[in-house]
Structure 1
């Protein structure tokens, strides 16, 4: 955790008990029916987390959409950071993409680009987006991106993701820490997924798995790894990693947890001669691009490398070197697919 964030959490710590209590009361109201939950006529899967920041929700959402292609999935996202303000915004309808990354938000646009044939919509109220996906886009399964705290919509499978290296952060509830809700909110989950498992943290992942099973013995725990596949250019041409290893890259990203991208570059065997971190969901306006150009000028790089989510926000931007994005693939453990498909089949 950065020193800047530590200071902010220090100021917010006295308010954490009140925020945690408010979230617990809200959850209790939904459980008792004092706040109304509504159901769609198709199976609904929520992909979410308990903590702030990245845990791999977008890669998991993409993975599920591919797994469930036979069930006509549609993705409903809040569209964080996007400029579209309609009740429901159609990013893609399964036959074409209609909003760019600035309008839709970088993550919905990224999902639409990587899931041809799968509708993607954004809506502040997931219920509105889900209804539109079913009624107008003929979805037979709805996947909620970042849906764990959005309890107004009933779901048939609630997946909660944890990044192994960060897990619960500082174990405090916002605004004094990383947790969006108190720990016992996890009783709503149907399964936990520990993401970003690799050889260096595998023992930690197993320790976390044992702790979760001890605390919530009725909830299964799965693990998932990320593997570098190739590089892609802005026009979607794929470059093999063997060829890419001949280049000297300057890396950059705008992620909540940039260290994970650095590790991905290392695992891909790419040579980096410099690296720059930008704020999460950075839009790469002129000041950021000018700063990036100055950083690149002082090193021996002959190419740039970033994440696919960052690349979608750089379309049409002038850069001093060729740009590539590292394509990663999520690989959950073997039993995960059967678990998901079994849940969907039982509710269809």
Structure 2
């Protein structure tokens, strides 16, 4: 954790019990159906987290959507569309055939998902029951993937997956504003299972210990892990895969994601030599002035090319840059038991019981 964030959390620590109590009360109201929970005629899988910031949800949703499609399902991804400007009850980012909204209208992650998921609708809406119903009634989907859905309890789900990033895990284990947790740890009782993402040689031991801790505290909930199965460097100009990443000499990398450390570690695994590594706040926009300053900084370090993430690339894909741009793309693979867990649960038609917290 950086020192500035640590300082801010220390200031907010006295308010953590208040926020935790409010979140627990909200969960209680949903559990007692005082706040309405909407049911859908198709299975719903929520992919969410307990912590703020990046836990690897987008790559997991990509993998899960493609896997379900391969198994014969017709999935749709439903998102709130964080920071997207589209304000309708139902915003069709993609109908599975064509991408209808740009990244500013859709939000970064929904737009990226829409561009990468052929044949799979991506829809946003602040009240997610509305895009869910549209996907079922108008697009004939038979399974819903609810992006960042753990705290969105207004839609009943068949599976509630909570993700933890192997590098950051549960942060300082304190509830906001004294830490990175969105809810008290007790809220994990209502999930169906856990997934540890972003596992590498550097964090494997910590991830294994954390998996054991989750299994001990929540013995009725399975814990799964995901691994990187491939790292590709793609040329933004022609979508060409760079066969030897180390051939890219003097690279300036940049990103605006929640977990830049993971991006840097992934770059280091490729053997690429970095002249510098620039980070911006998560979800930051790249206007002309920022891009000009960024490119000038890169040239000042002697860089001959730029490197960024897939999420960042969708924000600047239409920009002309003075240096060649490359995009780092990762492929992940959950452990084999996860595939069986997903398909068995979805095909069984079971709904997890609400657990009192």
**Bucket of the pairwise TM-score, normalised by the shorter protein:** over 0.9
CA distance in 2, matches of 1:163, 1:142: 23
- Give the Å deviation of 1:205: 1.2
Residue 3 of structure 2 corresponds to residue 22 of structure 1: no
Q: Where does residue 57 of structure 2 map in the other structure?
A: 57
Partner of 2:246: 245
Distance, in Å, in 1 between the alignment partners of 2:230 and 2:240 is 12
The question of whether the paired residues in 2 share the 8 Å contact of 1:307 and 1:325 is answered with: yes
How far off its partner does 1:199 sit?
1.4
Q: Distance in 1 between matches of 2:303 and 2:230?
A: 21
State the partner residue of 1:300: 302
Paired residues of 1:99 and 1:109 also in contact (CA < 8 A): yes
For the residues of structure 2 that align with 1:303 and 1:68, how far apart are their CA atoms? 37
Alignment RMSD (CA, Å): 1.3
In the alignment, the residues of structure 2 paired with residue 28 and residue 17 of structure 1 have an alpha-carbon distance, to the nearest angstrom, of: 16
Question: TM-score, structure 1 length as denominator?
Answer: 0.97
**Alignment: residue pair count:** 347
| Cα displacement string for residues 109-153 of structure 1 (whole angstroms, at most 9, x for unaligned residues) | 100111011000011111111001111111100000100000010
Q: 1:232·1:325 contact (CA, 8 Å) conserved in 2?
A: yes
Q: 1:167 aligns with which of 163, 166, 169?
A: 169
Shift of 1:11: 2.0
CA contact (8 A) 1:57 1:146 kept: yes
> Which digits, 9 at most, give the CA deviation of each residue in 1:318-339, with x for residues without a partner?
3220111111012111111111
1:196 is paired with a residue whose SS is strand
Alpha carbons of structure 1 residues 236 and 91: separation in structure 2 relative to 1, 3 Å = farther
Stretch of structure 1 that moved more, 248-257 or 144-153: 248-257
Q: In 2, Cα distance between the equivalents of 1:226 and 1:164?
A: 12
Displacement after TM superposition at 1:32 (Å): 1.7
Alignment of 1:98-109 (within 5 A): 98-109=100-111
Is the contact made by 2:174 and 2:180 (CA closer than 8 Å) also made in structure 1? yes
Shift of 1:235: 5.4
Consecutive unaligned residues in structure 2, runs of 5 or more:
351-357
| 1:249-301 Cα deviation digits (max 9, x unpaired) | 11100011100000111112222222111111111113321320221121222
Task: Map 1:304-315; keep pairs closer than 5 Å.
Answer: 304-315=306-317
Say which of 72, 93, 96 aligns to 2:95: 93
So what's the TM-score if we normalise by structure 2? Answer: 0.94
Structure 1: unaligned runs, 5 residues or longer: none
- Matched residues in 2 for 1:313 and 1:63: separation? 22
Measure the CA separation in 1 of the matches of 2:238 and 2:91.
Answer: 25
| Residue among 290, 293, 302 paired with 1:291 | 293
- Cα gap change, 1:18/1:291 in structure 2, threshold over 3 Å: closer, same or farther? same
Give the SS at the match of 1:208.
helix
Q: CA deviation at 1:316?
A: 2.0
Determine the structure 2 residue equivalent to 1:233: 235
How much does 1:102 deviate? Answer: 1.1
Question: Which residue pairs with 1:194 in the alignment?
Answer: 196
1:318 matches 2:297:
no
Q: Which residue of 2 aligns with 1:32?
A: 32
Alpha-carbon separation, structure 2, partners of 1:55 and 1:29: 27
2:353 maps to none
Alignment of 1:116 onto 2:125? no
Is contact 1:228–1:268 with CA below 8 Å preserved after alignment? Answer: no
Check whether the contact 1:241–1:268 (CA below 8 A) recurs between aligned residues.
Answer: no
CA distance in 2, matches of 1:290, 1:324: 17
1:284 and 1:313 in contact (8 A); partners too = yes
> 1:139 corresponds to which residue?
141
Take 1:165 and 1:86, find their aligned partners in 2: how far apart are those partners?
37
CA contact (8 A) 1:228 1:326 kept: no
- Give the secondary-structure state (helix, strand or coil) at the position aligned to 2:149: coil
Does residue 182 (structure 1) correspond to residue 158 (structure 2)? The answer is no
